[in-house]
């Protein structure tokens, strides 16, 4: 029996194919949402689908595929998904704060209004000095 | 490599290429600068996923280091561009 040409079992191939296609579909849907949504504040939600579920599915697929090759458990890919899970929200928060800052300096019709101006409440708004 | 894995990888590469084209279109069209920044963010995530899928296609673990580097420098670039949008300078 040739030890080098040992293949992965069928269930591992099927699991890898399903996970890869699911992750790529999530990434495609997220990027399509980025292209399709009307304003920036809706657009920023869409790519997080690819950055969370897409990355997790595809790294799980690589773990399944390389662990089924017979060289032991392959866990290097978990590093990538942990790193992306740590950094994607940080980037989103930075860009969101920058966009709010820019829209409040140079007003944009698509920007959300600040919460003070948003609710002219019946309980009596605070009088401006 | 069984046919289901072969065609699954083909379909995944096609879907990721479509995703990268959508992000590239938003990068070129995007009306404001912050649209272009999140489009570039989405583009590097998709490119990193494509690197991981190519690592499965060629059964080589060299692609993981490339994907890790893309994730690392993509985050640094996005953070620097967000800082630039906020302040007008990267290092002050």
- Chain B environment of A62 (Cβ under 8 Å): 52, 55-56, 64
Q: How far is B75 from chain A (nearest CA, A)?
A: 7
Please indicate, yes or no, if residue B56 is contained in any of the structural domains: yes
Please indicate, yes or no, if residue A118 is contained in any of the structural domains: no
pLDDT of the residue at A93: 92
- Chain B environment of A55 (Cβ under 8 Å): 45, 48-49
Taking an 8 Å cut-off on Cβ atoms, the answer to whether B83 and A43 are in contact is no
pLDDT of the residue at A120: 54
- Chain A environment of B46 (Cβ under 8 Å): 27, 31, 50
Please indicate, yes or no, if residue A39 is contained in any of the structural domains: yes
pTM of the predicted model, to two decimals? Answer: 0.83
Confidence class for position A111, pLDDT limits 50, 70, 90: low
Q: How far apart are CA B22 and CA B18, in angstroms?
A: 6
Q: Over 80: is that where the pLDDT of B10 sits?
A: yes
Could you list the residue range(s) of the whole structural domain that residue B10 is in? 3-15+25-87
Taking an 8 Å cut-off on Cβ atoms, the answer to whether B56 and A61 are in contact is yes
Taking an 8 Å cut-off on Cβ atoms, the answer to whether B45 and A97 are in contact is no
Q: What confidence tens digit (pLDDT) does each residue in B42-62 have?
A: 999 999 999 999 999 998 888
Domain total of chain A: 1
Could you list the residue range(s) of the whole structural domain that residue A20 is in? 10-111
pLDDT of the residue at B49: 94
Q: How far is B40 from chain A (nearest CA, A)?
A: 11
Q: What confidence tens digit (pLDDT) does each residue in A69-91 have?
A: 877 788 888 889 899 999 999 99
Confidence class for position A3, pLDDT limits 50, 70, 90: very low
Q: What confidence tens digit (pLDDT) does each residue in A9-66 have?
A: 888 889 999 999 999 999 999 999 999 988 889 999 999 988 899 999 999 999 999 8
Q: Distance from first CA to last CA of chain A, Å, rounded?
A: 88
- ipTM confidence: 0.89
Please indicate, yes or no, if residue B20 is contained in any of the structural domains: no
Please indicate, yes or no, if residue A128 is contained in any of the structural domains: no
Q: How far is A120 from chain B (nearest CA, A)?
A: 30
- Chain B environment of A58 (Cβ under 8 Å): 12, 49, 52-53
Please give the share of chain A, as a percent, with pLDDT higher than 70.
77
Q: What six digits make up the tokens of A60? A: 């799980």
Nearest to B85 by CA among B32, B43, B42: B32
Please indicate, yes or no, if residue A33 is contained in any of the structural domains: yes
Q: What number of C-beta contacts closer than 8 Å exist between A and B?
A: 170
CA B70 remoteness from chain centre: 8
Please indicate, yes or no, if residue B66 is contained in any of the structural domains: yes
Please indicate, yes or no, if residue B92 is contained in any of the structural domains: no
Please indicate, yes or no, if residue A54 is contained in any of the structural domains: yes
Which residues does A106 contact at the CB level (< 8 Å), separation at least 6? none
Domain total of chain B: 1
């Amino acid at each position: 029996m040739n030890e080098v040409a040992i293949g992965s079992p069928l269930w591992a191939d099927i699991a890898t194919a399903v996970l890869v296609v699911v992750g790529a579909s999530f990434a495609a849907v997220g990027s399509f949402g980025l292209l399709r949504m009307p304003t920036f504040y809706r657009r920023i939600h869409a790519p997080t689908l690819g950055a969370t579920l897409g990355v997790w599915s595809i790294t799980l697929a690589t773990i399944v595929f390389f662990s089924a090759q017979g060289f032991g458990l392959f866990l290097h890919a978990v590093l990538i998904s942990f790193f992306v899970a740590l950094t994607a929200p940080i980037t989103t928060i930075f860009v969101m704060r920058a966009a709010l800052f820019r829209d409040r300096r140079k007003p944009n019709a698509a920007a959300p209004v600040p919460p003070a101006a948003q609710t002219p409440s019946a309980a009596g708004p605070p009088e401006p000095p | 490599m069984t046919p289901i894995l072969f065609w699954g990888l083909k379909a995944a590469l096609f879907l990721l290429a479509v995703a990268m084209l959508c992000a590239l279109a938003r990068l070129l069209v995007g009306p404001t600068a912050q649209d272009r920044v999140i489009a570039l963010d989405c583009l590097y995530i998709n490119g990193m996923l494509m690197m991981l899928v190519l690592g499965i296609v060629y059964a080589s673990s060299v692609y993981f280091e490339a994907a890790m580097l893309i994730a690392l420098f993509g985050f640094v670039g996005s953070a620097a561009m967000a800082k630039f949008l906020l302040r007008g300078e990267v290092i002050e």
